[in-house]
Structure 1
Amino acid sequence: MAVTIKDVAKLANVAPSTVSRVIANNSRISESTKQKVREAMKQLGYHPNFIARSLASQSTQVLGLVLPGSADTFFQNPFFPTVLRGLSEGAHEKQYALQMTTGQSEEEIYDGIIQMVQGGRVDGIILLYSKVEDKVMMYLKERDFPFVVIGKPFKYADEITHVDNDNFRATKEVTDHLLNAGHDRIGFVGGDLNLVVTVERLLGYEKSLRKAGIPLRDDYIVHEEFLREGGQEAVKELMTLENPPTALVVADDLMALGVLNTLNEMDIRVPEDISIISFNNVLLAEMSRPPLTSVDINIFDLGYQAARNLIQKIEDPREPVKRITIPHKIVERSSCTDVKFGL
């Protein structure tokens, strides 16, 4: 015989209506009561009919995820599977599911968002990126549809809940780190300039050099995709200069791996001939040869807090706009050295 809500209510010593409210994650039910009911559900092996529940509550219990590009690019960079783990945990805690939308072009992605929103397929949306120009973000804002951004919105930052690192400060710190090691020829390998994270990191790099009285060199700044191939192309361009950099700030560990591979092919040693600091501190930073000094931006927490804050916004539309800043730290490994020791 199938387990019913009444069976759960009896075991938990609550009313059947209370069980229904716990399943719907009603904010009026205390956490202790929710825990007691969920334990009873687990003990009895009771699984709610989420389709019936969605029809009754007009809620899907689903969060939509918008990727920055094609799924192929998404899964190539370790940043995204890590942020997805954080999103999954934050959603699972409140019994929400995740649904991704992908496309080979911005138009396909935009159409997918419209289908999600107007088709009532999701209760809210998380953008896994922030672009300088993004009609998806404007569409969601104009419709007043619940959404959260991982990254700092280029426009209306005070009106949009977002979860981000202080990318300006982090990049200023790593550039200062290289300056303090005696480097004054420091290059910057960034990603797509339409991504706000690239702009913020570039500004932090420039601020550090200006403060140190070092002239900015346009030929020391290269922008490519956040992929291994992007790092390869960038370093070829930089190392063929008449006076190539003695240190690089690389905006992503996967790009840095491409940089390391290309430098090895060119018989340029790291850190003896050139020092490198990158971002994200994913596993490949530790496993690369040499291991990369990298900025740990707590990727998991970016995803977890994005899911958590979107659900709060869905369940209480009066929830105020927030900017959640996730802390960062430099993890020192073997890819950097002082100029006096290496050059």
Structure 2
Amino acid sequence: MLKTIACIALDQMAPFEFGVICEVFGVDRREHGGPVFDFHVVAAEPGRITTKLGFDLHVEEGLDFARTADLVAIPASLIDTPPDERILQVVRDAVDRGAWVLSVCSGAFTLGHAGVLDGRRSTTHWMYTDKLARLFPETVVDPDVLFVQDGKVVTGAGTAAGIDAALHIVRTELGQTATNIVARRMVVPPQRDGGQSQFIRTPVVECRSESFALITEWMLEHLDEDLTVDRLARKALMSPRTFARKFRAETGTTPNAWLNRQRLLRAQELLEESDLSLEEIARETGFGAAAVMRHHFIKVLQTTPTAYRRTFGAVPPPLDDRFDEARALTAV
């Protein structure tokens, strides 16, 4: 049973991510029937702890409590500089004795420096996933999810995804009712759909040669058309096989994959900024039909066009789109 939680404060930690851990595990919710944890904030050296936003915290406890805690939680902090070896040892010992270990956002780098991500899946903020994989090649980094649980090691993705990761531990240990109480007090959903892919803005890949820069620019201007490899090859004055090979060398991906990604990006823009229906957006971006566009959204962004518009759009989704999507999801 999850009872004791130690949140380790590190110099230059991010206050929001630190606050997420404190809010989920440190608030007494017994009057609403919620869980009460024995929650402690600890540090390698008690006293002044700096934050990334220019103000300091005073932490009174050392690491003793963390050495027996049911959960050791690490907020976001510096990614290039390993923390105090005493902190790394506490994390290793927690894993060895079967306790939960949670990192929020860039806190995954502390787990990486401790060596506990080796042989495990993990995640972190989408801005840092490549660096996490590069620094710690023995972990498999998933850049698309809100959190990853591997054994009793849980790594949360960017910033607010720490809420999802922390609530997942509460749900696993104490059940859905307790999780609902915590989430209701925090005014957040007890479980979010999708992953962090929907929050990532992928730039258009720059081409090294002028000829391919011209062809990709033309492709962006004609996303609503049927852009087959044969047609693109004729436009580039190449054979289809040569075009496909050179396109991959220039962009790192295939023409179809590149097109689908740019169509998704354009569809995201239209969902955010316009009141066009899903069918209109699907036609304008080259997906042809809303069902096809929905398939690509779920596959790549792990959400639906209507859910994406509801989250990021400047105007509510048209009523017909909400009915269409409800019917489609019911059919699935």
Instruction: Flag whether TM exceeds 0.5 (same fold).
Output: no
TM-score by length of 1: 0.26
Greater RCO, CA 8 A, separation 6+: 1
